[in-house]
Structure 1
């Protein structure tokens, strides 16, 4: 069985563009219950699950005193460390 690559690894390979990662962050910030995000190369990522599974992103996202500019780097980190499915 082959190991699924992280979004960061797929970015390093040129399969996912940084602009797509930024778009995924924006989608999650606008709607944490959004349907899975599909990258152009056919990789699908459940953004809510990615954030919930990240050790710090989920806690930080739910802090009442943290604004969107402080939450964004945590959401980005969660997405970059997640392992998307291939369609």
Structure 2
């Protein structure tokens, strides 16, 4: 059975730590996304898919004239709303 909880829900339940969310955002922004991101809890998330699935993040991150500081909150929102796989 697929876990339908979002990263944000897992964070609120203390399953995923704040530092892991920050690290996943940085991994995406640094281009380290060839493999699913793995959280210590065993959850994994395809960061590219998470950002592409989030309308605001997809549009904003794709802009060439936007810097990392402006992209970061959009990437974070996409990751928080994503539903990771367990295991």
Query: Smaller-chain TM-score range?
Result: over 0.9
CA distance in 2, matches of 1:2, 1:25: 23
SS in 2 for 1:44: strand
Instruction: Give 2:7's aligned residue.
Output: 7
Structure 2: 5+ residue stretches without partners: none
Which aligned runs of 4 or more in structure 1 are off by greater than 3 angstroms?
Answer: none
State the Cα distance separating 1:55 from its structure 2 match. Answer: 1.1
Aligned length: 87
Once the two structures are overlaid, the 10-residue window that deviates more, 75-84 or 32-41, is 32-41
Question: Conserved in 1, the CA contact under 8 Å of 2:7 and 2:79?
Answer: yes
Report if aligned partners of 1:44, 1:86 keep a CA contact under 8 Å in 2: yes
TM-score (norm 1): 0.94
Q: Is the 8 A contact 1:16 1:39 kept in 2?
A: yes
